[in-house]
Chain A
Amino acid sequence: EVQLLESGGGLVQPGGSLRLSCAASGLTFSSYAMSWARQAPGKGLEWVSSITGNGDRTYYADAVKGRFTISRDNSKNTLFLQMNSLRAEDTALYYCAKTTGLDYWGQGTLVTVSS
């Protein structure tokens, strides 16, 4: 059974940084692209970023390009999202998901950007 467990969320001031992690199990992690998506409070779903299985290519939504960096450690079955220059509009529940088609989702980790 595929399991994705996000961590690293919290309260951060505007302009600050956070690093999210997603621990994956129940799959051959390096064989799959992985993604991050987010959901602002009371709002819909938004794709944020994806990375290929071996990490050689990364993709970003325009809203986060230049501020967020996706990466992975296939030896530890872990996906990361480094978030810098955070803004109030980045406040959301951040989900880790398997593949670019988002076939499995984690439970999410909440990021709140506020002074």
Chain B
Amino acid sequence: DVVMTQSPLSLPVTLGQPASISCRSSQSLVHSDGNTYLYWFQQRPGQSPRRLIYKVSNRESGVPDRFSGSGSGTDFTLNITRVEAEDIGVYYCMQGTHWPPATFGQGTKVEI
């Protein structure tokens, strides 16, 4: 199975400042169809996960443009340009290229 490794696991942030989360996979996530099935999820305290980003860099409808995803191969990043209070929570990356199984990173807790 593909192992997804996130860093850092805890990210203290300052409101209005940028934040960045890294996600690395144990093997390339480029699928034979040419797509890279790397996703980012946000889980606010007490809530269900919400998908923010699909296929590395595509924002879901309604996701603020301060969130962006980038990367290729085995290295991926979720960036927040200016952290807002509502961004506090745990962020997970997930790969769907070498499926099944889908595999998640350990999660990064973004906190003030």
User: Chain A interface (Cβ within 8 Å of chain B)?
Assistant: 35, 44-47, 50, 59-62, 95, 100-108
Contact = CB atoms under 8 A, between A and B. Distances in A.
Interface in B4-62: 37, 39, 41, 43, 48-51, 54, 60
A47 B39 contact: no
Which of B37, B41, B49, B50 is the most central at the interface, judged by chain A CB atoms within 10 Å of its CB? B49
Interface of B: 37, 39, 41, 43, 48-51, 54, 60, 92, 94, 96, 99-107
Contacts of A101: 37, 39, 51, 54, 96
B101 to A, nearest CB: 5
A44 B102 contact: no
B69 to A, nearest CB: 14
Nearest to B47: A107
Contact of A60 (B41, B43, B94, B100): B100
Nearest to B37: A101
Given A45-B92, A45-B107, A101-B37, A107 B99 contact: no
A3 B13 CA distance: 32
A61 B39 contact: no
Contacts, number: 55
Contacts of B50: 105
A4 to B, nearest CB: 9
Contacts of A102: 39, 41, 49, 51, 94, 102
Nearest to A93: B48
A61 B104 contact: no
A62 B102 CA distance: 12
Contacts of B92: 44-45
Contacts of A44: 92, 104-107
A108 B48 CA distance: 7
A8 B106 CA distance: 27
A36 to B, nearest CB: 11
